[in-house]
Amino acid sequence: MAIQDAIQKLDPVSLVEKYGAPLYVYNAERIEFQYKRMLTAFKVPKIRINYACKALTNVNILRYLKQLGSGLDTVSIQEVHLGLHAGFAPQDIMYTPNCVSMEEITEAVQLGVKINIDNISILEQFGHLHPEIPVCIRVNPHIMAGGSSKISVGHIDSKFGISIHQIPHVVRVVKTTGINVEGLHMHTGSNILDAEVFLRGAEILLSAADNFKELSFIDFGSGFKVPYRESDISTDVEDLGEKLSKRFNDFCEKYGKELTLIFEPGKFLVSESGHFLVKTNVVKQTTSNVFIGVDSGLNHLIRPMFYNAHHEIFNVSNPNGKPRIYSIVGYICETDTFGVNRKLPEVREGDIIAFANAGAYCFSMASNYNSRFRPAEVLILNGEDHLIREREEMKDLLHHQVEIDSLKPAIAEKN
Ligand SMILES: *Cc1c(COP(=O)(O)O)cnc(C)c1O
């Protein structure tokens, strides 16, 4: 099993002995592999990969991607600040907010990052306030994509982007404000399986591009699917690369300028690099089920509960044990099931359980629910493990709580 091999190679049991559980572990080699794979798939004169950092925001991960040559895609002003802190140049950061205030956008302008605008109201205001600042426009091509309605953002009812049907309106605003549109962008959502979907979106975006004469880039967003199960098919980047490169190069020739092709993958770059390691607290036989209760829950890894996402689960302490069927659950005081009816080598209390695909949207969505500490994070770099985030402790839970002096209820006075 390839996914399991990748985990066992990291010697997860020793890592837990050294750093404790629960523990997030990221393998830098895998990030590099994915980055280079994407870069080589597209044969265009100018390409740029902007890592969508909401997937995993540890500054060491950001710096590692910067070393590889990546830019950054950010969706909040705080992510912009993290990117700058990690050492990215402002012009290598794209800021793609949705429904944020004009004040936040103005702050991003002052920081010098690239601005991606996703509604006409903001475009108008922006054009009046900062006519000299070039912008990118997020277009919604209205193609349905993705496996979950929570992550599909390109459909007709989506709150994201400016509808492709509103391009004439955009053109009017651009004319009256004198704003310079330097880029067009789309991002249709996660889990696109089909290169054809991408190409349909690309076609729509390129047809809109003819309305803007001063473009320097076109950003095709993301949607690259990675395998979550051994049998999953993922986005065939090489096939997509071949087809889209050809179409893009043809377009540039007609447009009369070599534009930069941009992608902004999150999941594709970091999902498979990550593993989440937890310890088995109890093996609980009920009348109908055998539960493995682990020292984690939806507070640390919410994707199975939130998106119905499938994460492969392995018993890395007893990989050669006799196979049995288990439901793996968390310790949170509501139902938090990681997986049902999973076949695992016999699990004993104390065994370390590993979740695959834990690099993207796992730690970055973790919380302190049930007043639990968020886990530590470790990066494996050139065969060496580095602690890149300490496990939280009590003081983190109390940090920023303001403990006021007198909390005597008024009613106590009367008694
Ligand atoms: C979340 C997001 C991405 C990354 O999506 P993945 O599925 O993780 O690759 C890219 N662009 C924008 C604007 C996003 O919001």
Distance between Cα 397 and ligand 1 center (Å): 30
The answer to whether residue 39 is domain-embedded is yes
Distance from C-alpha of 212 to C-alpha of 79, rounded to nearest angstrom: 29
Counting the structural domains of the chain, the total is 2
Distance from C-alpha of 303 to C-alpha of 310, rounded to nearest angstrom: 8
Chain centre distance of CA 277: 20
Distance from C-alpha of 173 to C-alpha of 232, rounded to nearest angstrom: 45
Based on the fold, state whether residues 179 and 231 are members of the same structural domain. Answer: yes
Candidate of 113, 190, 357 to mutate for ligand 1, largest count of ligand atoms within 8 Å of Cβ: 190
Pick the catalytic residue: 53, 99, 136, 333? 333
Q: Which two tokens stand for residue 404?
A: 């006021």
- Which among 266, 294, 322 is the end of a domain? 266
Q: Which atom of ligand 1 is nearest to the CA of 54?
A: 1
- Which among 198, 232, 266 is the end of a domain? 266
The arithmetic mean of pLDDT across residues 401-408, rounded, is 91
Based on the fold, state whether residues 235 and 341 are members of the same structural domain. Answer: no
**Chain mean pLDDT for the chain:** 93
Based on the fold, state whether residues 286 and 248 are members of the same structural domain. Answer: no
Chain centre distance of CA 297: 20
pLDDT of residue 193 exceeding 80: no
Q: Which atom of ligand 1 is nearest to the CA of 267?
A: 8
* pLDDT classification of 84: cutoffs 50, 70, 90: very high
The answer to whether residue 254 is domain-embedded is yes
Residue 294 in contact with residue 316, Cβ under 8 Å?
no
Task: Give residue 251's domain range.
Answer: 28-266
Based on the fold, state whether residues 218 and 277 are members of the same structural domain. Answer: no
**Helices 195-209 & 237-255, crossing angle to 10 degrees?**
10
Q: Which atom of ligand 1 is nearest to the CA of 361?
A: 8
Q: CATH number, domain at 372? A: 2.40.37.10
The arithmetic mean of pLDDT across residues 130-155, rounded, is 75
CA angle at residue 67 from 382 to 192, to 5 degrees?
95
* pLDDT classification of 413: cutoffs 50, 70, 90: low
Determine which of 13-22, 188-197, 208-217, 231-240 has the lowest per-residue pLDDT on average.
188-197
Based on the fold, state whether residues 157 and 289 are members of the same structural domain. Answer: no
Strands 47-52 and 71-74: parallel
The arithmetic mean of pLDDT across residues 244-250, rounded, is 96
Q: Which two tokens stand for residue 397?
A: 């839970």
pTM: 0.94
Which DSSP category does 375 fall into?
P
- Which among 240, 266, 292 is the end of a domain? 266
Residue 393 in contact with residue 20, Cβ under 8 Å?
no
Q: CATH number, domain at 63? A: 3.20.20.10
Based on the fold, state whether residues 242 and 275 are members of the same structural domain. Answer: no
Q: 53-80 in b/e burial notation, b at 16+ Cβ within 10 A?
A: bbbbbbebbbebbbebebbbbbbbbebb
Based on the fold, state whether residues 75 and 112 are members of the same structural domain. Answer: yes
